[in-house]
Structure 1
Amino acid sequence: QRMATVSLTMGGVIKSTSLLPGEPVRQGSVLATLENPDFITLQQTYLDSHAQTEFLEAEYLRQQALSAEQAASQKKLQQSKADYLSMKSRVEAAAAQLKLLGVEPEVLLKEGIQPFLQIKAPINGYVADVKMNVGKYMNVGDALCEIVDKSRTLLRLTTYEKDLADMKVGNPVQFRVNGMGKTVFKATLISIGQKVDEDTRSVEVYARVDTVDNQFRPGMYVTARIMKEQASAEQ
């Protein structure tokens, strides 16, 4: 939840980007722009279908009024209804595809066709593992970069099955981080794994860090003590 991989639902060529690893970004900010003729075609399909839907809806309402006055055949009314509903479904399908790409159909109606697709940050955080550059073709599903939100940090710890009896959610945790000296940080146990590794007889547990330090980085190694709730004995 606090680490996002930015990937594509439409392939294309990276037109522009200025990202650097470690750079802070805000949710919704533009990370890069993508060039793909299919994106322009999709927008055109939506706009054309939207215009046709308005016309067919008016025609369908006209046929309804004529039918009520018995001035039009049921065949014309049914055909008009079918044409309208078919075009309406095309509009909804195109709108759904645009939303998957992060484009709001209402904005497209106001501002017109956009030449490039904007890739936006899904969360607040720091940029990591940038794999794109200007001119590079990216396929659907390719990861462009990762964004790490350090506002809430978790510890993933390895403990052993012999310690499970004295361990429960809510236990305080004390830990040190490799490369950060003898400073002791505090955390709280929030999850205990339900599967024991057959080879090591170990269990994964997770703890929420109480106070986040700016020097913390995903992947850092820590040494931790899981404490009893009522005592300070090491587990």
Structure 2
Amino acid sequence: MNRYILKPILIFPLLLLFFSCGNSEGDSGNDQPEEIKKNGGISLSLKQFESSEMELGKMQEMMFPLTVQATGIIDVPPENKAMINSYTSGYVKQAPLLVGDEVKKGQFLLSLENPEYIQMQQDYLDAMEQMKYLRSEYERQKTLMDENITSEKNYLKAESDYKRNLSKYNALKEKLKMLNLNPVAIENGNISSVIRIYAPISGGITKMNINNGMYVSSSTPLMEIIDRDHLHLELDVFEKDIMKLEKDQEIKFMIPEAQSDTLEGLVHLVGTSIDGQKRTVKVHGHFKDEEAKSKLATGMFVQAEIITNESRQKALPENSVVSMEDRNYVLLLEDQSNGEYSFSRREVITGDTFNGFTIIKNGEDFEEDARFLTKGTFPLITE
């Protein structure tokens, strides 16, 4: 009886020892991957490296621009922008153009109609007819005065009547010219109830505030014309950066709402007065590429950088750096042997990015001949 009980008692501790050893080996196998993950270690075979078209590179010293940030708009000079108004009120008779139409200086824009125009022309003709009589009377009285035949009173009255009417005649004549009514044609009997308005500059119509039959006054803005040949940058720069600005400094800018491409310009003028509320100064910039203007429109919002100087910095290609949870990382090559690449994940402090390279502010933490993964970094770090 005791013999049968003894054997199971001896076997049981052996089984415990066996399973205990087995579990210990299994735990050891799981600990190693955890340790690699913790240290950021990543290993790749040569085949994986080449099939993923990965690349290695060293940190470089490069010249990076020192910039001043600015915002602004695309604009034109005042002389290249025209708001069309009428010198008098009237009803719109013709308005054949639309927003976007291009016009030449002197081209017909619209016409207005009003019975008052007829009265103005009639007043002009009356002044012209009176002119003939009053001038004749004035000359007669002057002759009589020279011969002491008439009194000075009669002479002065004739002179006053003539000059007062001459002033009225000339004033009406200028008014008619302002309304684009030809005084010579009116004197020949061609009276019109319609006036025509012509383009004061060449450009494109950007606003149209009228339609046929609409009543407009002299204060009503009828339409707007902008000559886009003189588009420029109108930037606002904060007061603290004014002393860094000079003419002909390079401008890098983009239109965030329209395109992501970076365009180039040059500083043309720097303002000399500060906006009291925003504490900024105006900077006028010209485009380097004249063809780029064809894609732009006045009023577009601009984000810009004005390059004021340069500094030498250590940098890596921007694809080398991966951002995760407000931190930036790179993969440093630790070993390359036996057809295998070993990398470690290292945190870096980054600066500005320019022309595809990012400044590494803590570049001195790495050896001069250190090599980094410059292509294919993102999937390895994020995984």
Alpha-carbon deviations, 1:171-199, whole Å to 9, x = none? 3323233424425232333132512454x
| CA distance in 1: counterparts of 2:157 and 2:146, whole angstroms | 16
Matched, 1:46 2:124: yes
> Structure 1 counterpart of 2:218, which letter?
V
The 3 A distance-change label for structure 1 pair 2 and 111 is: farther
- 1:27 matched to 2:105: yes
Q: Does 1:204 align with 2:204?
A: no
**Residue matched to 1:191:** 270
Instruction: Give the 5 Å matches for 1:147-158.
Output: 147-158=225-236
Aligned to 1:9, which of 87, 101, 115?
87
Identify the residue that residue 155 of structure 2 maps to in structure 1: 77
DSSP-derived class of the 2:252 partner:
strand
Structure 1 position 142, deviation (Å): 0.4
Greater helix percent: which structure?
2
More off after superposition, 162-171 vs 116-125: 162-171
Q: Which residue number in structure 1 is paired with residue 254 of structure 2?
A: 176
Matched, 1:96 2:170: no
* Per-residue deviation, 1:136: 0.7
TM-score relative to the length of structure 2: 0.55
After superposition, give the CA deviation of every residue in 1:37-91 in whole Å (9 maximum; x if it has no partner).
1111112211221221132112211221222223333232222111101111111
Deviations 1:88-136 (A, max 9, x none): 1111221233344344545544573222011121211101210111111
Q: Is residue 124 of structure 1 aligned with residue 202 of structure 2?
A: yes
Equivalent residue for 1:223? 303
The answer to whether the 8 A contact 2:270-2:281 is kept is: no
Q: Tell me, what secondary structure is at the counterpart of 2:222?
A: strand
Which deviates further from its counterpart, 61-70 or 106-115?
A: 106-115
CA distance in structure 2 between the partners assigned to 1:176 and 1:30 by the alignment: 37
RMSD of the TM alignment (CA)? 2.4
Question: C-alpha deviations, 1:202-224, integer Å up to 9, x for none?
Answer: 43322233425222211112222
Paired residue secondary structure (1:60): helix
Of 46, 56, 64, the residue aligned with 2:142 is 64
Distance 1:153 1:107, change over 3 A: farther
Contact residue 120 and residue 172 of structure 2 kept, 8 A = yes
SS at match of 2:82: strand
CA distance 1:174–1:51, change in 2 (3 Å): farther
Unaligned runs of 5+ in 2: 1-78, 312-351, 353-383
CA distance in 1, matches of 2:162, 2:104: 42
> Are 2:212 and 1:134 equivalent residues in the alignment?
yes
Q: What amino acid is aligned across from residue 304 of structure 2 in structure 1? A: A
Kept in 2: contact 1:12–1:138 (CA 8 A): yes
Between Structure 1 and Structure 2, the one with more strand by share is 2
Distance 1:56 1:220 in 2: 61
Q: 2-side partners of 1:215 and 1:54: how far apart?
A: 60
Query: How many Å separate the matches in 2 of 1:232 and 1:150?
Result: 34
State, as a whole percentage, how many aligned pairs show the same letter.
28
Whole-Å separation in 2 of the counterparts to 1:206 and 1:34: 39
Q: Aligned AA for 2:246?
A: K
Alignment match, 2:44: none
2:190 maps to 112
